[in-house]
Structure 1
Amino acid sequence: MSDTAAYNPHEIERVMRLAPVIPVLVIEDDGEAREVAEALVEGGLTALEVTLRTDAALNVIKRMNLVKGAVVGAGTVTNSRELGAALDAGAEFIVSPGLTQPLGEAALKSGTPFLPGIATAGDIMRGMDMGLEHFKFFPAMAAGGIPALKALAAPFYKAKFCPTGGISAQTAPDWLALPSVLCVGGSWVVPKGASPEEIRELAKAASSLGA
C-alpha cells in the first residue's frame, strides 16, 4: 500500500461520470483516429477507450489526444509493459480485462486513473485490498449479466462498476439503472465501416442513455 499514495480514486470516478457510455474502440488504421474521436466527442461521448488489440493502437491514442474535449484511455492493458507504453502514448486512464498484483501495483504507482476488470467476488476483494473501489465488470453478459452484478454489488456496497462485454444500445439502460453502475462500455457506438456521421448519431443516442 505504500506505493499507492499518488493514486486518487476520485479521478477514475470523474472519467466514469463523463458520459453514460465509454466507447470500446478497436481501430486498425490510425489514419481514422482523429475523425472517429471528433465524431464521438461531437456526439457527447468524451471518455474514449482505445483497446491495445491492434498494432495501430498506440498511434491511435496519440492522434485522438489531439482532439479537443477527448479524454483518451487505453484498454486491454494486461501487464506493466503495456501500461508503460500506453502512458508514454498519452493515455489519460487505463482499463484492464482483469486484475493481477503486478499490474495493479504498477498502475497505482503511476497515479493514473485505473479501471481493472473483475468477474468474481475474489477479484473485487483483491482490488479492494489494493485500495481500489472502481471496477470494470467483464465480460458482463458471459459472467452472468445483471443478476450476477446485483449479487456482487450487495456485499461490496462501496464498489462502483462499468459493465462491459455484450452490452448493446437496447440493454444499456437496464444496466445504467443499477445504483452501483456509473457507466457502461460498448463497441456498438463505432461499428465497423461506419462513417463519421453515423458514429456521431450513435454517440448522440448513447450520450442520452440513463438521463
Structure 2
Amino acid sequence: MLMTAATPPAPSTPPSTLLLLVRHGETPSTGMVLPGRTPGLHLSDRGRIQAQLVAERLAGLRVDGIYSSPLERTCETAEPTADCTGLVVNENAGLIECDFGAWTGAALAELSALPQWQTVQHTPSAFRFPDGESFAQMQARMVVTLEELRAAHPGGVVVCFSHADPTKAAVAHALGTHLDLFQRIVISPGSVSAISYVDGRAPAVLMVNSTLESLSGLRTS
C-alpha cells in the first residue's frame, strides 16, 4: 500500500481590522478660519448632506463600532451612520482636532501671511502652535488612539469621525511617510480614508480622501 505524506494545512490568514477615518462635513466657516476645538460649531446644510452620504456609502459593511471626536461637527457627522447601523456614537478625545492654541479662531488668510506659516506647511514636525499642541503630539495621539480602537475590535470594521489634520497625520504614519510631508495629503469634508490592520504586519492604506463610491467593496458583508 502506497503511503503518502499528509498535506499540511494551509496557514490561516490573520483577521484584518478595517478602520475608516471620516472627516466631518462642512461648517459655515470651513476653509475660512482655523476653528480648532472651539465649541458650538455645527454642520452647514451641505455638511449635513455629506454626513448622510457617508452613512449611505457604508451600506453593505457590517460596522462594529462608531467613534467620534467630542466636537459638535464630528458628532453630527456621525449621527446618520449611527442611525443606519443601530449603533451608538462613542465620543473619544483621542480623535479631537489639533489644539491650535493662540491661533484658534484666526482667519486662514491672516495666518498664511505669517512667517511661521511656512514652517506649518513645509516643516510641520518642527512646529508647535503657540500655547497649543505640536503636530508631532497630534500624530502620536492619533496613532495611539487608532491602535486602541483596532485592538478593541479585532477583525471588525470601525468608523472614526475626526478632522482634517489628525486624519492626514494618521494616514501619513500608516503610509510610512515623514510628518514633514503630511501636508501633501488632501482630506476633504465628508471624505473617507481606509486603513487595514493585521497583527504582525505594517498597516495597509486602502483608500484616501474618497467622497463618492460605495465602501462595501472594502470588506465582504
Q: TM-score, normalised by structure 1?
A: 0.35
Q: TM-score, normalised by structure 2?
A: 0.34
Structure showing greater Rg: 2
